C-alpha cells in the first residue's frame, strides 16, 4: 500500500481531494446564498415599489437613515423633507398641509418625513436644532430651508423654486 502513495501520486491525490471538496462546498453554499440574495432583492424591490406608489399617489413617505440617500438624495424630483417628532405640536399642526402639498405635487415633487428621535444622525448632519425644520433637496443638495410652522403658500413657493 505504501508503494502506491510515493513520489508524485500523493500531491496529485491531495490536489484532487482539495478541488473536489472546494466544488462540493461552493456549489451547495452558492445556491443557498443566491436564493437568499434573490429573496432580499425581491423584498427591496417591493418596498421601493410601495414607496414609488406612495409618491405617485401624493402621500408622505416616512424616511429613515437607512433609506435617506435612496429616497431623498438620489430622487429624480425635488424633495420636501420635514424633520419632525411625535411629541412636537407644531409638527402635528403642519401635517395636514404637508399631505395637501404631497397630493398637489404628486409626480413632480416628493414629501418625506424624518423623525428626529429615530434619525438623530440625519438631524445632526443637516443642522436641525428646532422642529419642524423643512428642507427642499434637489439633486442631493439643500436648495431651500425654513424652520417652524409655515403656511402652505410658503412651502409651495419653496418647491416651485426647485421645480422651476
pLDDT tens sequence across 9-59: 555 555 555 555 555 444 444 455 555 656 666 655 665 555 455 556 789
Q: Provide the pLDDT for residue 44.
A: 57
Q: Provide the pLDDT for residue 28.
A: 46
**Could you list the residue range(s) of the whole structural domain that residue 148 is in?**
59-163
Contact 104, 95 (CB under 8 A): no
Tell whether 89 and 152 lie within a shared domain.
Answer: yes
Tell whether 91 and 151 lie within a shared domain.
Answer: yes
Tell whether 40 and 74 lie within a shared domain.
Answer: no
Tell whether 51 and 78 lie within a shared domain.
Answer: no
Tell whether 73 and 44 lie within a shared domain.
Answer: no
Rounded mean pLDDT, 140-153? 97
Exposed, middle or buried by CB within 10 Å (0-12, 13-18, 19+), for 144?
middle
**Banded pLDDT at 164 (limits 50, 70, 90):** confident
Q: Give every CB contact of residue 18 below 8 A, 6+ residues apart in sequence.
A: none
Tell whether 23 and 83 lie within a shared domain.
Answer: no
pLDDT tens figures, 68-123 = 999 999 999 999 999 999 999 999 999 999 999 999 999 999 999 999 999 999 99
Tell whether 43 and 79 lie within a shared domain.
Answer: no
The count of domains in the chain is: 2
Tell whether 83 and 114 lie within a shared domain.
Answer: yes
Tell whether 46 and 65 lie within a shared domain.
Answer: no
Tell whether 79 and 51 lie within a shared domain.
Answer: no
Contact 159, 78 (CB under 8 A): yes
Domain CATH number, residue 152: 3.40.30.10
Residues marked active site are found at 88, 91
CA 65 to each of CA 45, 80, 84, 139: distance values in angstroms, whole numbers, following the listed order? 18, 16, 14, 18
Q: Provide the pLDDT for residue 58.
A: 83
Tell whether 13 and 80 lie within a shared domain.
Answer: no
Tell whether 138 and 78 lie within a shared domain.
Answer: yes
> Rounded CA gap, 120 and 85, in Å?
11
Q: Provide the pLDDT for residue 93.
A: 97
Amino acid at each position: 500500500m505504501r508503494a502506491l502513495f510515493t513520489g508524485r501520486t500523493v500531491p496529485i491525490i491531495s490536489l484532487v481531494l482539495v478541488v473536489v471538496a472546494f466544488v462540493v462546498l461552493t456549489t451547495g453554499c452558492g445556491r443557498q446564498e443566491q436564493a437568499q440574495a434573490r429573496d432580499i432583492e425581491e423584498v427591496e424591490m417591493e418596498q421601493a415599489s410601495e414607496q414609488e406608489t406612495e409618491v405617485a399617489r401624493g402621500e408622505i413617505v416616512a424616511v429613515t437613515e437607512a433609506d435617506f440617500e435612496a429616497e431623498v438624495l438620489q430622487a429624480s424630483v425635488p424633495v420636501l423633507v420635514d424633520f419632525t417628532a411625535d411629541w412636537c405640536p407644531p409638527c402635528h399642526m403642519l401635517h395636514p398641509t404637508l399631505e395637501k402639498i404631497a397630493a398637489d405635487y404628486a409626480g413632480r415633487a416628493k414629501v418625506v418625513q424624518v423623525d428626529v428621535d429615530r434619525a438623530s444622525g440625519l438631524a445632526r448632519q443637516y443642522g436641525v436644532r428646532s422642529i419642524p425644520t423643512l428642507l427642499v433637496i434637489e439633486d442631493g443638495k439643500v436648495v431651500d430651508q425654513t424652520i417652524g410652522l409655515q403656511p402652505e403658500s410658503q412651502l409651495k413657493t419653496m418647491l416651485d423654486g426647485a421645480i422651476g
